[in-house]
Amino acid sequence: MSDSKKREQEAIDAARVEIDRIDGEILRLLSERARHVRDIGDAKQRLGEPIYQPDREEKIFERLIAANPGPLDDGAIRRLFERILDEARRLERSVYRDDEDRGR
Amino acid sequence: MSDSKKREQEAIDAARVEIDRIDGEILRLLSERARHVRDIGDAKQRLGEPIYQPDREEKIFERLIAANPGPLDDGAIRRLFERILDEARRLERSVYRDDEDRGR
């Protein structure tokens, strides 16, 4: 392998180490986010409020897209956070379901 | 509104402030991750390496699922990171396409 190819390969390996570190941080933040979502689900249930609040979700998208520094385009940011909010809704629903199962 | 309902509502509002802060951090990390992905795409192109590396992706899933602290289940972690890796692949492909457009 030529020196320049070796340097390219080292740059790739170093970027992958960084990506693995970032993925670990994202996992930690997604889990922390999910704990708050679960708490909100519990509180909403006690208040008798609906889970799905499209206005709140639309505001989340708008704010994040306005703050998007790139290089991901706005469509990518929307698709990524749609997935995050989708999983949040799924988790909130499972909180409700568990309580129904227990006959609350 | 009763005092207990007021407290529940305050807890929901506080959790939403935390979620908004976490979303901003996730946006920052996703963008940082995307910059590394773009750099890797550039380097792979110079090396003539393929973009899509399913082995590397499978290892990313395995490591994250092993580190999953909950409350999201493993299926949720996989779906979330599938979306993140999907957008990474889309970004790497756009690096290739831009270079082809410039006749490189």
> How many angstroms away from the CA of B87 is the closest CA of chain A?
6
CB contact under 8 A, B23 and A91: no
Q: What are phi and psi of A2, to 5 degrees?
A: -65, 160
Cβ pair A80:B90 closer than 8 A: no
Residue of B95, B77, B83 lying closest to B37 (CA atoms): B95
Mean pLDDT per block of 10 residues along chain B (104 residues) reads: 89 96 98 96 90 88 98 97 96 74 56
User: DSSP class of residue B71?
Assistant: S
* Chain A residues whose beta carbon lies within 8 Å of the beta carbon of residue B84: 23, 26, 80
User: Which pTM was predicted?
Assistant: 0.92
Are the Cβ atoms of B15 and A44 closer than 8 angstroms? no
Chain A interface includes B21 (CB < 8 A): no
pLDDT at B101: 63
What is the C-alpha to C-alpha distance for residues B28 and A6, in angstroms, rounded to an integer? 30
Assess: ipTM above 0.85: yes
